[in-house]
A and B are shown apart, each in its own frame.
Chain A
Amino acid sequence: MSKTTIKTKLSRRQYFFIIVQTEIGVGILSLPYDLHSQAKQDGWISLLIGGVLLQIVLLVIWLIAKRYPDKDFFQINEAVFSKWIGKGISLLYIAYFSMVSMVLLLLFVRLISLWVLPQTPFWILSLLMILVCLYLASGGINVMARFYTFVSVLLIVLLGFVVYSLKDSQIVFLFPILNDGWVPVIKGANEAVLSFFGFIISLVIYSKVEGSPAQRLRTIFYAHWFVVLFYLFTVITSFTFFSTVEMSFIQEPLLYMLKSFDFTIVARLDLFFLSIWVVNVATTLTTYVYMTGLGLTDVFGTKKTTPSYIIAAFIILVPPLFIGYNMERVDQFNNFVVWMGYIFSVAFLFIIYFISLIRGSLQKGGAS
């Protein structure tokens, strides 16, 4: 990695694709099912509600980042909370990012094992995945950004598959709307928010992106709504393809939908879909490996970055090996990380913002 690549700032287009690729990941396959399990056929409303609510969080992210234009997230922590407390908080975040990565890895391998490779042992699949991510992440954010932009073409292919399934959809399955009232829909919004948790990357790398704050805010919003619409489309397609009762049985609706089509050359479209989806999982996981590694570099103040990524990859790889295919433990761990997600990706951001506000006004008061 030459020095020029470090200094080049990311373009806003790259920023857009990093956010999009980070948010779209493992969850896309089961998102319709998760929404449906809470809100039945109104799940798509939950998704929209989740999307709108997150808009507020994104605004807070921007407000925080705007105050520290040349610091990445972990440096902001130190600036806001003073050096040692800040480092402690950064460590918590590193723990959180690595736990999210573990969940991603567990869910990914579970799905691959279920659908394609039932005999392959857990460790080989997870090792392969983490190696790819480590390689990509140690290339630095610029390399990642280029790669993410490049593979975003694949999103169009994914979309194409889903569009094809529309031919068998029946709009009648979306009705009746709001028959059970708003309560299940609000509960469903919880599931919806989960699927967006990658948005924290927009805070972590904000300072590395060129453009005025307003321009960058716009990019964040564009990326967010792109993902919302992408999800919305897949959710509505699944909901109209499968009948309401059927949906409650099918955990990966998108795959199941594609499985039923048969072409002369391609007998199983779902396998094609899966192999493209693997790239999306890899990009998501890479981002988390990157964030974990970046955090380690910042906290320990090391000069070389690659060792941090290797340590990060190691931390992420080992615990899942002990959980393996055990569904119950995966689910427990997943639920735990979801709660962590609410704390670290939502609640704590507000705290950071308010403390930085208070400190800012104190300093102003002291100066006058």
Chain B
Amino acid sequence: MKRKWLGILICLTLLTGCWDTRQFKDIKLVLAIGFDQNEDGGVTETVSIPTVRRSTEGPANETVQVLTTEGKTPREARDHTDQMIANTFDPSKAKVILMGEELAKNSIQPIFDQFYRNPNNNLNAYIAVVEGKAEDAIRISPPNDPGISKYVSGLLEGQINATHSTGENIEVLHGELLEPGIDFAVPLLKVDKEQNLLNFEGLALFHNDAYSGEFIPNHQTTLLMLLEGIRGKVASFTIKVTDEEENAIRNYLTFRVMRNIQDMKVKVENNQVKVDINVKMKVRVVEYPRNHLTSKKTIIDLNEKLSELLTEQSEEIIAVIQEANSDVFQVGRNVQSYHPDYWKKVNWEEEFPNITIKPTIEVDIVQYGVIS
């Protein structure tokens, strides 16, 4: 009996766990954060804080509050936000982090340090660059979605599924920020004030930790992803295969990629880096009003035509990437790994725009729907 009471007493004193509770009523979860550069070098932080009000009758209604504060560092700006709201600011469930164009062009690493340093933070948050100011993007109120964070994360997820972007989150970004020889591309959004929406413009190319100012426009991003060997749920292309038809629609062919195999070879010959990127795609034609796809010859001709056109486009993309000095294919890391002597000799920053990257794309039509 004595033992039993002792046991109960110990349990009562030790198992209550009063210290580290974080109760939902005490914190304000911030789901979307936007950072902009100030004129004096500081940071402007814009946050969107949703609050759910429960009423006894009817559905709960959610209101969103948007706040903008300034500070010398992101953390100070957050403290300033804290001074303006009733509860404690908690970014541990942030879904979306947006960066203004100017800030991105300067340097983004200092912004993210706080996210890496504190174990509570959510490293899955998506990141994107906004043309103009991030504040404007956070301040739009999309008509159909309950909040900006849901809207932007939905938008970005859609781009990942459609093979338009890599799905860059903060965690992946960390390595890419730090590692020499690896650069990255982040979705670029544009605020459409008239329709109160955001628009996916393309992929902003970064060099080291700054936006180079160049971007891959949204009609070429799928190809860039396939060149990197990444495919979302759907990857489709619409390509003009001929000029012969009068009806403009008949000139185009749309296909979906069913399988793609990417192979990158990095060679160092005579102190010159040569990169071959081969992409083989097995595709399904989903729209081709011009012709029947019955004869083998038509299909072979189309295969050749598509391969040629896509290879040309790839060359354009690579030219932009090299101009931006944004090593998104991780060629530098490959050279460092497999040709360490050469890596030590060269300054990769200067070398990358001058190397030869040769893309080859092979398209193979394997299906053409239920009609021929």
Indicate, yes or no, whether A interacts with B: yes
A119→B20 CA distance, assembly (Å) = 6
Given contacts A114-B119, A117-B19, A262-B122, contact A243 B337 (CB under 8 A): no
User: Which of chain A's residues have a CB closer than 8 A to the CB of B157?
Assistant: none
A262 in contact with B340 (CB, 8 Å): no
User: Which of chain B's residues have a CB closer than 8 A to the CB of A246?
Assistant: 174-175, 178-179
Given contacts A246-B178, A246-B179, contact A175 B19 (CB under 8 A): no
Tell me if B336 counts as interface (CB < 8 A to partner A).
yes
B340 in contact with A118 (CB, 8 Å): no
Given contacts A259-B123, A262-B124, contact A172 B333 (CB under 8 A): yes
Tell me if A5 counts as interface (CB < 8 A to partner B).
no
Tell me if B14 counts as interface (CB < 8 A to partner A).
yes
Tell me if A52 counts as interface (CB < 8 A to partner B).
no
B123 in contact with A260 (CB, 8 Å): yes
Interface residues of A, count at CB 8 A? 29
A245 in contact with B180 (CB, 8 Å): yes
Q: Mark A234-262, 1 if CB is under 8 A from B, else 0.
A: 00000000111110010000010001111
Contact of A119 among B19, B174, B338 (CB under 8 A): B19
Tell me if B330 counts as interface (CB < 8 A to partner A).
yes
B119 in contact with A176 (CB, 8 Å): no
Contact of B178 among A117, A172, A249 (CB under 8 A): A249
User: Which of chain A's residues have a CB closer than 8 A to the CB of B179?
Assistant: 243-246
A174→B338 CA distance, assembly (Å) = 10
User: Which of chain B's residues have a CB closer than 8 A to the CB of A267?
Assistant: 122
Q: For this complex, into which size category does the number of interface residues on chain B fall?
A: 20 to 34
Give A179's nearest chain B residue, CB to CB.
B340
Tell me if A265 counts as interface (CB < 8 A to partner B).
no
Q: Which residues of B from 149 to 181 have beta carbons under 8 Å from A? A: 169, 171-172, 174-176, 178-180
What's the nearest-Cβ distance from chain A to residue B92, in Å? 9
Q: Mark A98-127, 1 if CB is under 8 A from B, else 0.
A: 000000000000000011111111001000
A216→B116 CA distance, assembly (Å) = 47
A176→B338 CA distance, assembly (Å) = 6
A114→B119 CA distance, assembly (Å) = 8
User: Which of chain B's residues have a CB closer than 8 A to the CB of A116?
Assistant: 20, 119
A128→B14 CA distance, assembly (Å) = 8
A244→B343 CA distance, assembly (Å) = 15
Given contacts A243-B176, A245-B180, contact A259 B20 (CB under 8 A): no
Q: Mark A253-278, 1 if CB is under 8 A from B, else 0.
A: 00100011110000100100000000
Given contacts A128-B14, A175-B338, contact A243 B123 (CB under 8 A): no
A243 in contact with B19 (CB, 8 Å): no
Q: Which residues of A from 277 to 315 have beta carbons under 8 Å from B? A: none
Interface-centre pick from B123, B176, B330, B337 (highest chain A CB count, 10 A):
B337
Tell me if B334 counts as interface (CB < 8 A to partner A).
yes
Give A255's nearest chain B residue, CB to CB.
B119
Tell me if B182 counts as interface (CB < 8 A to partner A).
yes
A173→B333 CA distance, assembly (Å) = 8
A260→B333 CA distance, assembly (Å) = 23
Give B344's nearest chain A residue, CB to CB.
A179
User: Which of chain A's residues have a CB closer than 8 A to the CB of B176?
Assistant: 243
Give A261's nearest chain B residue, CB to CB.
B124
Given contacts A128-B14, A246-B179, contact A117 B20 (CB under 8 A): yes
A117→B175 CA distance, assembly (Å) = 27
A176 in contact with B174 (CB, 8 Å): no
Q: Mark B1-40, 1 if CB is under 8 A from A, else 0.
A: 0000000000000100001100000000000000000000
Give A115's nearest chain B residue, CB to CB.
B119
B178 in contact with A245 (CB, 8 Å): yes
A217→B179 CA distance, assembly (Å) = 45
Contact of B19 among A121, A174, A255, A260 (CB under 8 A): A121
Given contacts A243-B176, A244-B179, contact A176 B340 (CB under 8 A): yes
B171 in contact with A260 (CB, 8 Å): yes
A242 in contact with B340 (CB, 8 Å): no
Q: Mark B116-138, 1 if CB is under 8 A from A, else 0.
A: 10010011100000000000000
User: Which of chain A's residues have a CB closer than 8 A to the CB of B337?
Assistant: 172-176
Given contacts A114-B119, A172-B330, A260-B123, contact A243 B182 (CB under 8 A): yes
Give B336's nearest chain A residue, CB to CB.
A176
A249→B172 CA distance, assembly (Å) = 14
A-B contact pairs, 27 of them (CB 8 A): A114-B119, A115-B119, A119-B19, A121-B19, A124-B14, A124-B19, A128-B14, A172-B333, A172-B337, A173-B333, A175-B337, A175-B338, A176-B336, A176-B338, A179-B340, A243-B175, A243-B178, A243-B182, A243-B333, A244-B179, A245-B178, A245-B180, A246-B175, A246-B178, A249-B178, A259-B123, A270-B119
Query: A116-B20, A172-B330, A176-B336 are known contacts; what are 5 more A-B pairs with Cβ within 8 Å?
Result: A115-B119, A117-B20, A119-B20, A242-B175, A246-B179
**Lowest 7 CB-CB distances: which A-B pairs, in order?**
A175-B337, A260-B171, A243-B175, A243-B179, A176-B340, A120-B19, A245-B178
